[in-house]
Amino acid sequence: IVLGCRFDSEKILNAPIGRSPNNRLKMSTHAKSSKEAITHLKVLEYFQHFSHLELKLETGRTHQIRVHLSELLNAPIVNDELYGRSKEESKFFTSKMKSILSGYAYPLLHAKVLGFIHPVTKEKLRFEHPPSKIFLDTLNALRSENGKNTPSI
**pLDDT, position 153:** 34
Task: Please answer whether residues 83 and 76 qualify as being in contact, where contact means their C-beta atoms are separated by less than 8 angstroms.
Answer: yes
pTM over 0.85: yes
pLDDT at residue 151 above 60? Answer: no
Task: Please answer whether residues 19 and 32 qualify as being in contact, where contact means their C-beta atoms are separated by less than 8 angstroms.
Answer: no
What does the pLDDT look like over 54-94, one tens digit per residue? 999 999 999 999 999 999 999 999 999 999 987 788 888 88
Runs of H (alpha helix) within the chain = 64-67, 86-90, 95-101, 133-141
Q: Which amino acid is at 139?
A: L
Domain boundaries, the chain: 2-149
What does the pLDDT look like over 15-31, one tens digit per residue? 999 999 999 999 999 99
Fold designation for 2-149: Pseudouridine synthase (3.30.2350)
Burial of 147 (0-12, 13-18, 19+ CB in 10 A): exposed
**pLDDT, position 5:** 85
C-alpha distance from residue 60 to each of 14, 32, 105, 110, 116 (Å): 12, 19, 24, 15, 10
